[in-house]
Amino acid sequence: MNRRNFLKSAALAAAATTATAMETTTGLQIPEETPDKSDKPLIDSAPMLQNYAETSMGIAFSVSKLANGFVDYSENADMSGSKRVMCGGFRLTDVNEDVMRVRLTGLKPATKYYYRIGAQHIEYIDYRHNSLKETMIDPNIYSFTTAGKKAKAHFCVINDTHVQWPAIAACTDKIAALQPSCVIWNGDANNSTDTVEQQKKIFLQPEMDRRDYAANIPYLFAPGNHDDRGIANWHLERVWMYRQPEERSSRDWDLGRNFAVRMGDIAMIGLDTAEDKVDTNPRMMGMHTSQPYREAQKLWLEDALKAPEIASAPFIVAFCHIPLFDPNPRSNPGDIMPDDKDERYSTDFAAWQRTCARLWGPALEKAGCQLIITAHQHCFRYDEPSKEHKWAQIVGGGPRLYGPKNGGKHVDFPTVIEGKVENKQLKIIVHNVSTNSVIAEYLYKARKV
Ligand SMILES: [Fe+2]
Ligand SMILES: [Fe+2]
């Protein structure tokens, strides 16, 4: 079999496996009494837990028709005493035909909750002639545990998955084996995404067996430069909702992607380095406002680091997509005006982000941040603390499970970067999921607080 035919056969086999897995791993069923004859169930994905936090949780799932979604949740495994929360916010629910987004609020920190998802199909003709159709409730009971000082300090990071299913499947298999409290998706989940259907595929309907990969482990999102590319991604919040507004001051109302979350002894800080080209680059057509966005995040960061639950954490770890340092003088620092081009640098886009380093670095250093976990370069690297920066930096790997070898070495293998607190130290373990092996380990001492 030549390579092309092999890939085609492998894709067909994967599709067949996926269809079976959809039935077996999520157990989704349409109730018997439903008159609906369409081939897709009303709920056509597992739920995804979004925006891990102390007192709230976002839950998103896909629907195949116009629907009104809800989540029932309870502290009891048998769902006794459950409460129902509808999708959307006040006044009207968020009835739509793509994604149900439900926000649970007022939760207790470091507390386990059980939940199930449901939706009701609404046939809309005009405002006088609508009818309620089938209601579907996913029979599975899922669970999550909120963040907080008493939560288990254990995270995993994936990055630069770029819709490469073999890599994503391998990463999520590793995460399922490690069972962290949360996962940080450190950007470039997308390539360029033009339809909501494609967005749903990336986050809610992945082409792999483990379609419920985020149903019981909550995710956080630090977007990459590819995550606002493509017309659908101008509103990625339709699929991955913004964080809760009460997490930040009114000045920062628009910073819906930043996070400062306490998980056990670790404070996790999420920053968005935005595009890898300057706003004035003609290729960006004047559509990007990365510079004021980064400046606004500086003010947010300074305040976030002063919050008592963050300032008292023994470990501060920051996450952002584009690195804040690069030891190679040929690496483009992302501030070359007006169009990123300069013969001193090997690329005409940012390999690292000098602007962000200058804006955010001092506050992170002052707070005692020990480690920044980044991505973007598709090649794992570790930068020790130095005179220029007191924090260490890890650059996560790339999207190719079986990538070409550079000088005999496969360099863009995917990584799962695991962090946990053991014996009062922060232990970082870097897993190469291509070889299913540990390739590096680092230990960090607690800050004096
Ligand atoms: Fe990337
Ligand atoms: Fe990137």
As a whole number of angstroms, the distance between CA 391 and CA 386 comes to 8
CA distance 445 to 424: 7
pLDDT for 32 equals 40
Q: What is the pTM of this model?
A: 0.91
Q: What is the identity of the amino acid at 255?
A: L
Residue 162 alpha carbon to ligand 1 centre in Å: 7
Q: How far is the CA of 226 from the centre of ligand 1 (A)?
A: 7
Q: Are 89 and 242 in contact (CB under 8 A)?
A: no
- Cα of 422 to ligand 1 centre, how many Å? 31
* Residue 277 CA, ligand 1 centroid: distance in Å: 14
Determine the distance separating the centroid of ligand 2 and the alpha carbon of 6, expressed in angstroms.
30
**CA of 160 relative to ligand 2 center, distance in Å:** 7
Instruction: Output the pLDDT for position 38.
Output: 66
- Phi (first) and psi of residue 403, to 5 degrees: -75, 165
Q: Which CATH superfamily is domain 1-145 in?
A: Immunoglobulins (2.60.40.10)
Cα–ligand 2 centroid distance for 321 (angstroms): 7
Query: If you measure from the C-alpha of residue 161 to the centroid of ligand 2, how many angstroms do you get, rounded to a whole number?
Result: 10
H helices within 132-242, ranges in order?
A: 165-178, 196-203
Distance (angstroms) between ligand 2 centre and the Cα of 445 equals: 30
Between the CA of 149 and the centroid of ligand 2 the distance, in Å, is 32
> If you measure from the C-alpha of residue 124 to the centroid of ligand 1, how many angstroms do you get, rounded to a whole number?
41
- The superfamily CATH assigns to domain 154-445 is Metallo-dependent phosphatases (3.60.21.10)
Strands 415-422 and 425-432: antiparallel
Q: Output the pLDDT for position 406.
A: 62
The pLDDT profile of the chain, 449 residues, written as one tens digit per residue, is 333 332 233 333 333 333 333 332 333 333 344 445 468 999 999 999 999 999 999 999 999 999 999 999 999 999 999 999 999 999 999 999 999 999 999 999 999 999 999 999 999 999 888 899 999 999 999 999 999 999 999 999 999 999 999 999 999 999 999 999 999 999 999 999 999 999 999 999 999 999 999 999 999 999 999 999 999 999 999 999 999 999 999 999 999 999 999 999 999 999 999 999 999 999 999 999 999 999 999 999 999 999 999 999 999 999 999 999 999 999 999 999 999 999 999 999 999 999 999 999 999 999 999 999 999 999 999 999 998 899 999 999 999 998 766 667 888 999 999 999 999 999 999 999 999 999 999 999 999 88
Distance 29 CA to ligand 2 centre (A): 38
Q: Quick one: which ligand is closest to 320's CA?
A: 2
Residue 146: Cβ within 10 Å count: 24
What is the structure's pLDDT at 449?
A: 84
Residue for token digits 């300069």? 342
List the domain boundaries for the chain: 1-145, 154-445
- Minimum-distance ligand to the CA of 224? 2
Size of the chain, expressed as the number of residues it contains? 449
Distance 136 CA to ligand 1 centre (A): 38
**227-243 as b/e: b if 16+ CB within 10 A:** bbbbebbeebebbbbbb
Ligand 1 mean position, distance from CA 252 (Å)? 27
Alpha-carbon distance 224 to 298, whole Å? 18
pLDDT at 22: 33
Ligand nearest to the CA of 351: 2
Whose CA is closest to 352, among 340, 362, 343, 365?
340
Residue type, 331: S
SS3 276: coil
Nearest to 384 by CA among 374, 394, 369, 398: 394
Structure confidence at residue 13 (pLDDT): 35
Measured from the alpha carbon of residue 412, the closest ligand is 1
Ligand 2 center to residue 430 CA distance, Å?
19
Work out the number of other CB atoms within 10 angstroms of the CB of residue 8: 12
| Radius of gyration, CA atoms only, the chain | 22
Query: Cis (ω within 30 of 0) for the bond into 338?
Result: yes
CA pair distance 426, 190, nearest whole angstrom: 30
